[in-house]
Amino acid sequence: MDGSAEAAPLLHMIGNAHIDLVWLWRWPEGCAEAIGTGWAAVELLEAEEGLVFTRGEAALYRWIEEYDPPLFARIQALVRRGSWAIVNGWWIQPDCNLPHGEAFIRQALLGKRFFRERFGVEVTVGYNVDSFGHAATLPMLLRHTGFQWYVFMRPQEHEKSLPGALFDWVAPDGSRVGAFRIQVAYTTVHQALRERIEHDAALARRYGYPFMCFYGVGNHGGGPTRADMAVIRAAQADGYTAAFSDPNRYFTAVGAVKRPEVRDDLQYHAIGCYAAVSALKALNRRAESRLAQAEAAAAVAMVYAGASYPREAL
């Protein structure tokens, strides 16, 4: 047994694949990547005993349901088996600073409804691993839409010091969610997986509670590989208590851990991005505001004047 690993608390190994729907590609390419990554994950899950895969964003599942029903059915079966974990009950992973508050509420309303109807799952773990910052009011929006926990990565340690990787994030109104900041990255593109395991095990020993250790080969697709499985099993053989897991299981395991409080924004990362293509950002915010105003006016007109409600148009 590797003596340095002997005292390490349990590592929850989180196999995942981050996919931006649109970034430097148009949506059909993002859709194709979602389908390709889905098949790769399904085949690996069916071949590797005990492996767990984590995936969020209802929009990606909706694409798979529409364009590859056989894959969607296989995913449903794996969710029922407990091998495929659903997180982030929102429609997409958004920016968490600029959107209108109502936009976050609708993300939860539509996303969580989709996961309940298609998978019978009530998602309670918020999950925005690549959002560039997080407003201090977000715990309120999360908690009031049925979330108890939150996973993020940015800002990282060099951008904002926190009292620990695991903490209670408290909004100005007192709403709180348990939060975990991913260490280093959500992929292992720039760091060998064994090195990541050793790094996170050292942090777990330092803080005295289990850690989530994220791995996967791609930032825009990809995910766990057979090579990753070999590395994890070798680490287990060397004495590291590393288990295939997902954020739901992790938060269940640390639910009783005494956590420090953070009452602040989680900022800043890539500040310049908020000035880039600023006209589109302004137009998006105006569109959000006008949609809310139109919806309120339509509701009043329906109740007091008997007007038909333009549900589909809105």
The pLDDT score that the predictor gives to residue 210 is 97
The pLDDT score that the predictor gives to residue 63 is 98
Could you tell me the pLDDT band of residue 8, with boundaries at 50, 70 and 90?
low
The pLDDT score that the predictor gives to residue 180 is 98
Closest to 194 measured CA to CA, from 175, 213, 173, 177? 213
Region 4-8: mean pLDDT is 52
Closest to 263 measured CA to CA, from 173, 182, 180? 173
Region 5-24: mean pLDDT is 85
User: What's the N-to-C CA distance of the chain in angstroms?
Assistant: 61
What span, in angstroms and rounded, lies between the C-alpha atoms of 120 and 105? 20
Q: Where are the domains of the chain?
A: 8-274, 277-314
The pLDDT score that the predictor gives to residue 2 is 47
Q: Quick one: tokens of 82?
A: 């407990």
Burial of 190 (0-12, 13-18, 19+ CB in 10 A): exposed
pLDDT in tens, 282-299: 999 999 999 999 999 999
Could you tell me the pLDDT band of residue 238, with boundaries at 50, 70 and 90?
very high
What span, in angstroms and rounded, lies between the C-alpha atoms of 258 and 246? 21
The pLDDT score that the predictor gives to residue 101 is 93
The pLDDT score that the predictor gives to residue 42 is 98
pLDDT in tens, 243-259: 999 999 999 999 999 99
Q: Quick one: tokens of 103?
A: 């936009």
What span, in angstroms and rounded, lies between the C-alpha atoms of 46 and 132? 34
Size (the chain), residues: 314
Fold classified for 8-274: 7-stranded beta/alpha barrel (3.20.110)
Could you tell me the pLDDT band of residue 220, with boundaries at 50, 70 and 90?
confident
Region 152-158: mean pLDDT is 96
Could you tell me the pLDDT band of residue 271, with boundaries at 50, 70 and 90?
confident
pLDDT in tens, 32-46: 999 999 999 999 999
64, 39 contact by CB (below 8 A): no
Region 59-65: mean pLDDT is 98
Closest to 266 measured CA to CA, from 147, 146, 177? 177
Within a 10 A sphere around the Cβ of 242, how many other Cβ atoms?
Answer: 22
pLDDT in tens, 177-217: 999 999 999 999 889 999 999 999 999 999 999 999 999 99
